[in-house]
């Protein structure tokens, strides 16, 4: 039944062209040469010429290599046995455990019918005031952390994962440094979370095509867990590596690049992954937290730019803090009216005042005289940064809101803050 072909016509980049017939688009094949066996996927059909993207790369693939088509697209196993396990980008065990072959399901499946989605309604508590108070994370949200190399984005990701109340954690690592991979494994193990985690890890040393598979595999497994009514948190780090892998393949395939060499469908490709985040109306949910490193700290770079248009907000991690400007959780309005009546007021007022503080700082740097108002802002800004923004602060939301009022009352009179009188009457701390 399975057909084997040996006529390789072209090898360029990680893409080989073989003459074959009756091959399906996106079908999987095994390429066997002196260097060993690798999986490959059909990415283009042109008459009897079949373009295959070889997962382990084309290095050492000979013109007489054997290509065997498997008759099905890329699949991933699914069972409870996945929990606690670590796999590569093509789904092979990376730990010493056995391979799993149960319930094979195709990856990159169809998208969810919008009519079967529900409005997200549960807050994910993280204990980080910059998230809980100002940009609340919501179950089923898709949210990237925009950052630059050197920032502690992976520890932040791990910390959120450990503090969030979810049933399953799935980590998709793309181009991870080996140290970072070990860091995630050890932290999850230390805190006893490994038993509810599955890891799909592509390290920087692995073949680039495997990097492309990681989000699809991780999300296909997440989807299966979610259908079993589990609340799943998917961590993807770093999506910029994923986009770069796509760019590499696109250029090999001689596609016309649109912006800085990235393919024209970058937006659709990223969206297809991020849109897997979902709250099903009668099943579980998938929440996606991703890391997007911004080359040159430039948010207009195509990867962060397209990501921002897809995701439901973003966290800017800069100088070890989550920046209040630019950071945004689009779904926060769905939950922050149910937490506490003063949540939105604190959220808006403190940020507006912090923005005013930043302006005052500029004036101060230029040597202008500080007015009474400026003095108050300066006092406020320092306390806000120290007591709210610092990542080491770890307090529940309610405590953070109380702290917010306290800081405001210590720095300002109630009428100066622009807060509606009804709120200050009720919440303004009495001296």
Contacts of 19 (CB under 8 A, 6+ apart): 5, 7, 9, 48, 49, 50
Stretch near other proteins under the rule CB under 8 A, chosen from 3-11, 114-122, 168-176, 384-392: 114-122
> How large is the C-alpha radius of gyration of the chain?
25
Residue 101 interacting with other proteins (CB under 8 A): no
Pairing of strands 75-76, 86-87: unpaired
Within positions 223 to 242, which residues make up the interface with other proteins, using CB under 8 A?
227
Which are the contacts of 369, defined by CB distance < 8 A and separation ≥ 6? none
**Position 276 contacts other proteins (CB under 8 A):** yes
Among positions 4, 9, 37, 48, the unique one binding other proteins when judged by CB under 8 A:
48
Q: Which of residues 131-190 bind other proteins (CB under 8 A)?
A: 140
Q: How far is the CB of 391 from other proteins (least distance, A)?
A: 21
- Residue among 27 and 206 whose Cβ is closer to other proteins: 27
Nearest to 168 by CA among 105, 239, 215, 226: 226
List the one residue from 312, 400, 401, 404 that touches other proteins (CB under 8 A).
Answer: 312
Rounded CA gap, 187 and 182, in Å? 8
**Interface with other proteins, residue 84, by CB under 8 A:** no
Task: Compute the C-alpha angle 88/57/270, nearest 5°.
Answer: 65
DSSP string spanning 137-179?
EETT-EEEEEE-TTS-HHHHHHHHHHHS--SEEEEEEEEE-HH
If binding is defined by CB under 8 A, does position 371 make contact with other proteins? yes
**Between vectors from CA 387 to CA 384 and to CA 392, what angle results, nearest 5°?**
130
- Looking at 19, 321, 340, 344, which residue binds other proteins (CB under 8 A)? 344
Cα–chain center distance at 58: 29
CA–CA dist 319, 324 (Å, integer): 12
Among 3, 26, 85, 379, binds other proteins (CB under 8 A): 26
Decide: is 37 part of the binding site for other proteins (CB under 8 A): no
Q: Is there binding between residue 120 and other proteins (CB under 8 A)? A: yes
Assess 47 for contact with other proteins (CB under 8 A): yes
Q: C-beta of 103: minimal distance to other proteins in Å?
A: 16
Query: Which of the stretches 6-14, 52-60, 202-210, 267-275 binds other proteins when contact is defined by CB under 8 A?
Result: 267-275
DSSP secondary-structure letter at 174? E
Q: Which of 351, 361, 393, 395 binds other proteins (CB under 8 A)?
A: 351
Contact present, 250 and 266 (Cβ < 8 Å): no
Q: Is 348 among the residues that bind other proteins (CB under 8 A)?
A: yes
- Positions in 281-300 near other proteins (CB under 8 A): 283, 299-300
7, 24, 102, 394: which one binds other proteins (CB under 8 A): 24
251 makes contact with other proteins (CB under 8 A): no
- The string of DSSP letters for 200-229 reads EEEETTS-HHHHHHHHHHHHHHHHHHHHTT
361 binds other proteins (CB under 8 A): no
Residue 12 is a binding residue for other proteins (CB under 8 A): no
Question: In the block, which residue shows the tokens 């940009």?
Answer: 135
């Amino acid at each position: 039944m399975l057909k084997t072909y040996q006529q390789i016509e072209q090898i360029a980049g990680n893409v080989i062209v073989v003459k074959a017939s009756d091959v399906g688009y996106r079908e999987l094949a095994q390429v066997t040469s002196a260097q060993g066996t690798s999986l490959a996927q059909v990415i283009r059909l042109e008459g009897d010429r079949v373009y295959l993207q070889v997962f382990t790369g084309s290095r050492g693939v000979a013109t007489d290599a054997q290509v065997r088509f498997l008759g099905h697209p890329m699949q991933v196993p699914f069972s409870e046995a996945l929990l606690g396990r670590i796999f590569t980008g093509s789904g092979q065990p990376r730990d010493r455990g056995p391979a799993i072959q149960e319930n094979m399901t195709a990856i990159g499946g169809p998208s969810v019918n919008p009519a079967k989605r529900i409005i997200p309604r549960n807050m994910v508590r993280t204990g980080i005031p910059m998230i809980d108070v100002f940009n609340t994370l919501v179950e089923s949200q898709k949210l990237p952390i925009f950052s630059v190399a050197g920032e502690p984005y992976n520890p932040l990701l791990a910390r959120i994962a450990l503090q969030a109340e979810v049933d399953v954690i799935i980590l998709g690592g793309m181009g991870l440094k080996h140290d970072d991979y070990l860091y995630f494994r050890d932290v999850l193990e230390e805190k006893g979370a490994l038993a509810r985690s599955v890891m799909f890890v592509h390290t920087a040393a692995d073949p680039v095509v495997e990097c492309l598979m990681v989000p699809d595999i991780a999300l296909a497994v997440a989807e299966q867990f979610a259908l079993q009514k589990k609340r799943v948190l998917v961590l993807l780090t770093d999506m910029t590596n994923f986009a770069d892998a796509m760019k590499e393949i696109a250029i090999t395939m001689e596609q016309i690049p649109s912006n800085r060499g990235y393919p024209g469908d970058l937006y659709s490709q990223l969206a297809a992954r991020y849109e897997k985040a979902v709250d099903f109306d009668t099943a579980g949910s998938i929440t996606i937290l991703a890391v997007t490193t911004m080359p040159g700290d430039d948010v207009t770079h195509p990867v962060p730019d397209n990501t921002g248009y897809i995701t439901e907000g973003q966290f800017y991690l800069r100088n070890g803090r989550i920046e209040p400007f630019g950071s945004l959780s689009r779904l926060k309005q769905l939950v922050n009216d149910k937490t506490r009546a003063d949540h939105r007021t604190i959220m808006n007022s403190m940020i507006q005042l912090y923005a005013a503080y930043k302006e005052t700082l500029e004036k101060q740097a230029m040597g202008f005289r500080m007015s009474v108002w400026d003095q108050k802002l300066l006092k406020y800004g320092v306390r806000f940064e120290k007591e709210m923004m610092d990542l080491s602060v770890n307090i529940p939301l309610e405590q953070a809101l109380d702290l917010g009022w306290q800081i405001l009352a210590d720095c300002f009179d109630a009428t100066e803050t622009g807060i509606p009188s009804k709120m200050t009457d009720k919440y303004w701390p009495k001296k």
